[in-house]
Amino acid sequence: MTGTYPTRATRNGRFPAFPLKADAGASFKPQHFEAIIADHEPVGFLEVHAENYMGAGGPPHALLTRLREIIPVSLHGVCMSIGGLQPLDREHLQRFAALVDRYEPALVSEHLAWSTHDDIFFNDLLPLPYTDETLDRVCDHIDEVQNAIGRPILLENPSTYVLFAESSWSETDFLKEVVHRTGCGLLLDINNVFVSATNHGYSATEYLEAFPLNHVGEIHLAGHDEQSDDEGAPLLIDSHDRPVADPVWTLYGHVIGKRGPVPTLVEWDAEIPDWPVLKAEAMAAGEILANAERRIARSRKGAKEANGHLV
């Protein structure tokens, strides 16, 4: 893979500064390392969970260092608890900032969720009531993160299984206001949109029509489990343990057609398949991105030819 991407010195000069294009990528799992290194047609980028690299050294950093030398990396936080009632964990934030400084990732992202209360950590990304109070707290926490790392983050929309009666903002308007107040970007997880829309009985298409797509810097796709609740209604679980579902691919094509190509990652975090299976999912997203690029190129060419004809 070496030499696939144009290189230039990074701020710290430790790694190539790969310009991240609107390519398709995949989540990195250590069992795929050798296959990725040997792959002569790599994916566009790899994403790692920040919390897996908060030790000082050892095999995880050895693998990530080697990958960062040859391919763009996106750093995805899962434990910041940006929506939590308490102040952010300063030690966790310092470790997160140290990772950003150490690896200079192409993208940095976190979740619109909470996962801590007092001294208890929940191994879930829990939903928030969308109120003015929540908005102030989330914006304060994002400001703190962005000040600590010296760059904007992308904030991911959640998958949810309950809604709060006290919410006074729609999720899409809440995200728009967070972007307005903090200057952060958005990570649009289309599987999360489909999961939440199905669980709550609203239209995923209408949700996406209201989503501030012009602020989206990355898209996530993933598989979900299909279950039923106690009353027999469909209940989707954001399981990340299987291929992307057809309805999610349809929504993704709609978003790319409207927004244009955006770096897109396929997540797979359980029941991990062999690398060729995960890579094929990423390549399917890459083909949709490439088709969009070709449509845009044809449109621009047609516009130039029309202008030339008029002249």
Cβ atoms of 207 and 159 closer than 8 Å: no
Q: Residue 5 above 50 pLDDT?
A: no
Q: What is the mean pLDDT of residues 23-33?
A: 97
> What's residue 310's pLDDT?
57
**Amino acid identity at 211:** F
- Residue spans of beta strands (DSSP E) within 30-180: 46-49, 73-76, 107-111, 114-117, 120-126, 154-156
How far apart CA 286 and CA 296 sit, in angstroms, is 15
Radius of gyration of the CA atoms of the chain, in A:
20
Q: Residue 306 above 60 pLDDT?
A: yes
Mean pLDDT of the chain: 92
CA 138 to mean position of chain CA atoms:
18
**Structure token pair of residue 158:** 């959640």
Residue 104 neighbours by CB under 8 Å, 6+ apart: 10, 11, 12, 14, 15, 17
**Cα 61 to Cα 30, 50, 96, 120, distances in angstroms:** 11, 11, 14, 28
Cβ atoms of 69 and 16 closer than 8 Å: yes
Helix, strand, coil percentages for the chain (3-state, nearest 5): 45, 20, 35
Q: Percent of the chain having pLDDT more than 70?
A: 95
Q: Which region among 17-26, 117-126, 146-155 has the lowest average model confidence (pLDDT)?
A: 117-126
Higher pLDDT, 4 or 305: 305
Going by DSSP bridges, is the β-strand pair 225-228/264-266 parallel, antiparallel, or unpaired? unpaired
pLDDT, one tens digit per residue, over 31-42 is: 999 999 999 888
Look-up: residue for tokens 């039923």? Answer: 228
pLDDT, one tens digit per residue, over 76-119 is: 999 999 999 999 999 999 999 999 999 999 999 999 999 888 88
Could you give phi then psi for residue 107, rounded to 5 degrees?
Answer: -135, 150
* Per-residue 3-state assignment (H helix, E strand, C coil) for 116-150: EECCEEEEEEECCCCCHHHHHHHHHHHHHHHHHHC
> What's residue 2's pLDDT?
33
pLDDT, one tens digit per residue, over 170-193 is: 999 999 999 999 999 999 999 999
How far apart CA 306 and CA 291 sit, in angstroms, is 22
**CB neighbour class for 307 (10 Å; exposed up to 12, middle 13-18, buried from 19):** exposed
All structural domains of the chain, each given as residue ranges with its CATH number in brackets, are 24-308 (3.20.20.150)
* Per-residue 3-state assignment (H helix, E strand, C coil) for 243-263: CCCHHHHHHHHHHHHHHCCCC
